[in-house]
């Protein structure tokens, strides 16, 4: 089944063709990061207008690179939530138009389910440190514990079957990606902050560790205190006020050290909670997914500390893309699920939560 996946929930306009939920034929991503970096974060109005400009060229390129004609597309999958309403609308309307024109079914996909199903895409396991992907060829080793970490979400989701998700923990305030992004801003680094923090992070002797919020007895997370602690440390070190008399070398060293401690703190909490949850629920594996899963340190520490198999998509498939949306649509389409033309966007769509 040739599925065209469309993703426009945030600041990436993306489309991809995936065969049978695993075989990636094209994966086109037009990032708006540069546009938003000028404003230090995403401006929803600009994002939505940029999607309108980019969507048709991105779709055409995805079809061209897949070398599959429009008539060879069997279904259209599109993110309909969660995300920014004005951004989601662009993808959903494009999907409706295409489905009508081609006479094929269309299905709305939960963005978070997309992040998880990226682990099924065939070119995962790029560095050999993790266990390939959970399927196909073999029966996926359910139950699996999914740690979804992105700019808007930090969630632990128990996956008992192909489309059976149960939310067991979530952030009570900032998402892990948000903690990276906001802290990067404090340190004067570019948006998106996660890759920047990772790039400059370096252990600097004498830099004290930042706190970890464990919130014991639950699988929930909290990252807003960490951001505040980092701000205080940056102020004490005199790097927030740009007039402060600090040489650029001294500043760089402080930023490198604080970035390292921030990354260590986030990684430590995420890995310990994911392992504890996998253990308590008797899971056979852990899936690490979402934009923050592109973080090298997180990938490395989880793979080293987990006692069960770890599945992590290639970094390019961790950040937002259309392939993961096509991959998530597949198990639902083969069960006969489709969406009608009344499909609406749902900016607050949840995964695995009781209605």
CA distance 199 to 81: 30
Residue 32 found at the interface with Zn ion (CB under 5 A): no
Nearer to ligand KG4, 2 or 87 (CB): 87
Q: Is the CA virtual torsion 29, 35, 39, 40 positive or negative?
A: positive
Cis ω for the linkage preceding 63 (within 30 of 0): no
Task: Check binding of 150 to ligand KG4 (CB under 6 A).
Answer: yes
- Among positions 130, 294, 301, 302, the unique one binding ligand KG4 when judged by CB under 6 A: 294
Q: Are 69 and 25 in contact (CB under 8 A)?
A: no
Given Zn ion, ligand KG4, none, residue 134, with its beta carbon under 5 to 8 Å by kind, binds: none
Q: Among 79, 150, 259, 309, which residue sits at the site for Zn ion (rule: CB under 5 A)? A: 150
**Is residue 320 involved in binding Zn ion (CB under 5 A)?**
yes
Give the separation between CA 167 and CA 219, rounded to whole angstroms: 10
* 181 contacts ligand KG4 (rule: CB under 6 A): yes
Q: Does 192 bind ligand KG4 (CB under 6 A)?
A: yes
Q: Does 322 bind ligand KG4 (CB under 6 A)?
A: no
State yes or no: residue 320 binds ligand KG4 (CB under 6 A). Answer: yes
Alpha helix ranges (H) inside the chain:
33-37, 44-66, 85-102, 111-117, 176-186, 193-200, 224-236, 248-280, 296-305, 315-318, 323-333
To Zn ion, the closest distance from the beta carbon of 117 in angstroms equals: 12
**Residue 12, SS3?**
strand
4-33: contacts with ligand KG4 (CB under 6 A):
10
Go through the chain and tell me how many residues it has: 355
Per CB under 6 A, contacts with ligand KG4 among 198-227 are: 198
Residues 136 and 138: their CA atoms lie apart, in Å, by: 5
Between 33 and 276, name the residue whose CB sits nearer to Zn ion.
33
Contact 293/312 with Cβ under 8 angstroms?
yes
Q: Is 110 in the site for ligand KG4 (CB under 6 A)?
A: no
Which positions lie near ligand KG4, rule CB under 6 A? Answer: 10, 150-152, 177, 180-181, 192-195, 198, 290-292, 294-295, 319-320
Contact positions vs Zn ion (CB under 5 A)? 150, 320
């Amino acid at each position: 089944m040739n599925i065209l996946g469309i993703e426009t929930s945030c600041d990436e306009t993306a489309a991809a063709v995936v065969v049978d939920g695993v075989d990636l034929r094209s994966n086109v991503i037009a990032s708006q990061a540069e546009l938003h970096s000028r404003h230090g974060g995403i401006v929803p109005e600009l994002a939505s207008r940029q999607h309108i400009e980019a969507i048709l060229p991105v779709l055409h390129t995805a079809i061209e690179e897949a070398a599959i004609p429009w008539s060879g597309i069997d279904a259209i999958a599109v993110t309909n939530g969660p995300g920014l309403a004005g951004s989601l609308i662009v993808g959903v309307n494009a999907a409706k138009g295409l489905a009508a024109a081609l006479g094929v079914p269309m299905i709305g996909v939960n963005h978070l389910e997309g992040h998880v199903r990226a682990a099924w895409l065939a070119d995962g396991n790029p560095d050999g440190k993790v266990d390939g992907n959970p399927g196909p060829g073999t029966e996926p080793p359910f139950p699996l514990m999914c740690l979804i970490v992105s700019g808007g979400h930090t969630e632990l989701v128990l996956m008992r079957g192909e489309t059976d998700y149960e939310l067991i923990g979530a952030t009570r305030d900032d998402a892990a990606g948000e903690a990276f992004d906001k802290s990067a801003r404090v340190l004067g680094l570019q948006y998106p902050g996660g890759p920047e923090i990772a790039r400059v992070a370096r252990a600097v002797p004498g830099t004290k560790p930042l706190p970890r919020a464990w919130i014991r007895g639950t699988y929930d997370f909290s990252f807003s205190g960490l951001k505040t602690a980092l701000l205080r440390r940056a102020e004490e070190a005199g790097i927030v006020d740009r007039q402060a008399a600090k040489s650029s070398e001294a500043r760089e060293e402080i930023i490198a050290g604080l970035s390292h401690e921030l990354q260590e703190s986030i990684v430590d909490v995420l890995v310990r909670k994911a392992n504890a949850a996998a253990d308590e629920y008797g899971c056979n594996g852990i899936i690490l997914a979402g934009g923050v899963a592109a973080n090298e340190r997180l990938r490395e520490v989880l793979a080293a500390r987990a006692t069960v198999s770890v599945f992590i998509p290639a970094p390019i498939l961790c950040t937002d893309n259309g392939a993961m949306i096509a991959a998530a649509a597949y198990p639902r389409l083969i069960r006969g699920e489709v969406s009608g033309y009344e499909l609406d966007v749902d900016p607050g769509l949840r995964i695995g939560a009781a209605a």
